[in-house]
């Protein structure tokens, strides 16, 4: 149980803990992929929005907070892809309406968790060291980061990203080797059982 709570907290921070150290890689473009910006830029954009928002503590009003997350953070994630992988083998037996319903449930669960944990985000005491993006073909990349917070062991985060138009979207986050998609698959396991043979 303790490990599950820690995983959720680490995953939530994965969506929020971005550092200006990423700026060092903003001008990095892998040869052959210069038509699309470095995927670290996606994370940097989210950080800039988060810093601006969290600077005003009045924004922790639950309604404003939820609206901010829904409009500024959620769009950086490809929930359709995530949902398909969360469903796993059950996805083949699910209709379009069922997949849309599961996607909405995944999104709302994610949104609620973010809103709950955003108050503990502190960009001043959190440092992130990014590595250069690793590309898998033209349309997929992984951004690895080490997250350093006071009084805790550093965490290794791997952002798996997929090309989306001229930019990138996050399709999974691994926290110390544990996938958020796999975590959510277990979370929704009971409801997915109805699609077993």
Which range is most confident: 69-73, 93-97, 164-168? 93-97
Alpha carbon distance 147, 11 (integer Å): 12
Query: What residues form DSSP beta bridges with 146?
Result: 129, 156
**Assigned CATH topology for domain 2-195:** Nuclear Transport Factor 2; Chain: A, (3.10.450)
Whether 99 shows a pLDDT value over 90: the answer reads yes
Sequence length of the chain is 197
Q: How confident is the model at residue 191 (pLDDT cuts 50, 70, 90)?
A: confident
Q: Where are the domains of the chain?
A: 2-195
Q: Is 11 exposed, middle or buried (0-12, 13-18, 19+ CB in 10 A)?
A: buried
Contact predicate 196/87, CB 8 Å: no
pLDDT at 105: 93
Q: Which of 75-84, 128-137, 170-179 has the lowest mean pLDDT?
A: 128-137
Mean pLDDT of 179-194: 87
Smallest CA-to-CA distance from 42 within 181, 159, 175, 177 is with 159
Q: How many helices (H) and strands (E) does the chain have?
A: 7, 6
Per-residue DSSP letter, 68? H
Using one digit for the tens of pLDDT, what is the confidence trace for 20-34? 333 333 333 344 445
Greatest mean pLDDT range, 38-47, 63-72, 169-178: 169-178
pLDDT greater than 50 at residue 14: yes
Q: What is the mean pLDDT of the chain?
A: 77
- pLDDT of 60 > 50? The answer is yes
What does the longest C-alpha to C-alpha distance in the chain come to? 52
Nearest of 163, 168, 138, 127 to residue 40 by alpha carbon: 168
* Confidence at 96, pLDDT banded by 50, 70, 90: very high
């Amino acid at each position: 149980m303790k490990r599950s709570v820690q995983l959720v907290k680490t995953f939530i921070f994965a969506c929020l803990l971005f550092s200006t150290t990423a700026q060092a890689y903003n001008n990095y473009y892998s040869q052959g992929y210069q038509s699309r910006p470095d995927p670290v830029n996606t994370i940097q954009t989210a950080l800039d929005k988060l810093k601006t928002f969290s600077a005003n503590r009045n924004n922790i009003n639950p309604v404003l907070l939820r609206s901010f997350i829904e409009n500024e953070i959620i769009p950086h994630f490809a929930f359709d892809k995530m949902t398909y992988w969360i469903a796993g083998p059950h996805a083949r037996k699910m209709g379009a309406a069922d997949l849309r319903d599961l996607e909405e449930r995944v999104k709302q669960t994610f949104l609620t968790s973010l809103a709950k944990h955003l108050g503990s985000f502190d960009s001043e005491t959190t440092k992130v060291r990014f590595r250069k993006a690793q590309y898998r073909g033209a349309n997929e990349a992984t951004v690895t980061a080490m997250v350093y917070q006071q009084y805790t062991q550093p965490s290794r985060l791997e952002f798996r990203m997929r090309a989306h138009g001229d930019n990138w979207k996050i399709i999974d986050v691994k926290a110390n080797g544990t996938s958020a998609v796999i975590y959510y698959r277990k979370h929704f396991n009971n409801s997915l059982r109805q699609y077993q043979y």
